[in-house]
Chain A
Amino acid sequence: MSEKLIVARGLTKTYGDFIAVDGIDFDVAKGESFGFLGPNGAGKSTTMRIIGATSVRTSGTLTILGKDPEVHGPQIRAHLGVVPQQDNLDNELTVSENIFIYGRYFGLSSSFINRKIPELLEFAQLEEKKDTKVEALSGGMKRRLTIARSLVSEPDILMLDEPTTGLDPQARHILWDRLFRLKEQGVTLLITTHYMDEAEQLCDRLIVMDKGKIMAEDSPAQLIKDYSTKEVLEVRFGSDRNQEMVDVLRPLADRIEVLPDRILLYATDGEQLLEQITAKGIHPNTSLVRRSSLEDVFLRLTGRSLVE
């Protein structure tokens, strides 16, 4: 295995009686794109803050590039690019001034930053907006600027907390494309998300978190293989009939999950299962066969949906 940039053992964070992160272990290798998948409140953002040396762990050990954030906070922050969940761009400044001053916070020279700005503006597709005040940008542009800004110090690790939450589908796809490019350049990415498609698109490896604990850890494909079947058949009978159909359907599928509005039937071949059901004279109002996703993995692991 290649060089490990982050090593966490028994990492724990409590706020009074509340355990936000409950003794988790994980390693992140250089150049890897590592994800934290889980619902809101799973402890993902807290873990990110501890790695970002802006929160102090309660117990456990953590090293980032061989350093302990508790002892060498500023040194670790110098290695990191941070893209927080809520944009904290400087609204009173222009697009290029935002990148400039952020570089100055790291102590970088003006000449270095000024050489860097055109490259970052191109990356963020914001060349036209360089002298525009940040206030006037769209949500997607702001997020891209936040990423560009975080890259000014050429970080070894880029941390993205819910990078596409609140963006429209088009803006999400542009952002994913930009993050892919970074991944190709070998930047180590740390991503938290509660979107399974985002995790599947961007992460080489991820941990599924719930209530501060790690439920599973692997590549998206392997997790799906381990915790779900190849396909899923989704059937709806109308909210009053869903429950009574469960007992009839249960023997037919490998596994069954009942959601408020639909029933999920897990099988290797979804179409075949649907045929079996119709052959028994059962006719759902609607049916859909799809591939298993991380959503199904999460449902299997926790009995709950990711997005509630």
Chain B
Amino acid sequence: MQTVKLFECATHEWIVFGRDPDKGEKIVDTNQYLIKTAREAVLLDPGGIELFSSMLASVVHYLPVEQITHLFASHQDPDIISSLGLWDKTLPHATLHAPWIWEGFLRHYGCNNITYKPIADEGGTFKMDGIELDFIPAHYMHSSGNFSVYDPVSKILFSGDVGGGLNGADDPLFVEDFDKHIKQIKTFHQRWMPSERAKQAWLNRVRKLDIDLLCPQHGAIYQGKDIERFLDWLEDLEVGTALRLS
């Protein structure tokens, strides 16, 4: 599994894990993010059950597992958090932050030891070992209960499915050719994002943020001018339109 340190400062680090070579061919590729302070850590969208052993094997290169005190699930999909039952065995004392509407659903994955901390629809701030992360509402982008995560210090926005695409396992971890990349993610956004209103609400929130890296849960990471280009592109794209019924 590829791992790249995205950010490092005195208080914390961001690390991305992705492009797992061991995953099944028909399993969608995902990016998992670890934010690590001196004493604690949070895994953002820890991934599906099929990815668990690769993820666990990768994170122990950076910290002892007991340092992971928090998990975050942007929404309820299996590629996001179907590994919960196994993390529950690995990190029995951890806390899972996830949209309140999914609690009863996510518990189907197995959540006997981990504490479920529901995130209210309005979002909020999460504090961990001296750092603060903002849960930005991203409802209907694509899930009906959905959050992005913003770190004002690193200026990293974890955007969940927004900006993602069904990329191949060999695709670059960072956007290299924006025009080529955008073609690959167009249908994904048109089909997976159901609401123009929700899209606009998310864009309004996100445009107020100072972003250096826009990190989706699938596909490639946006940096520099590509972030603004992506937001403009998304604004112009009519979503909820890719359904083709015969």
Check if A and B associate.
no
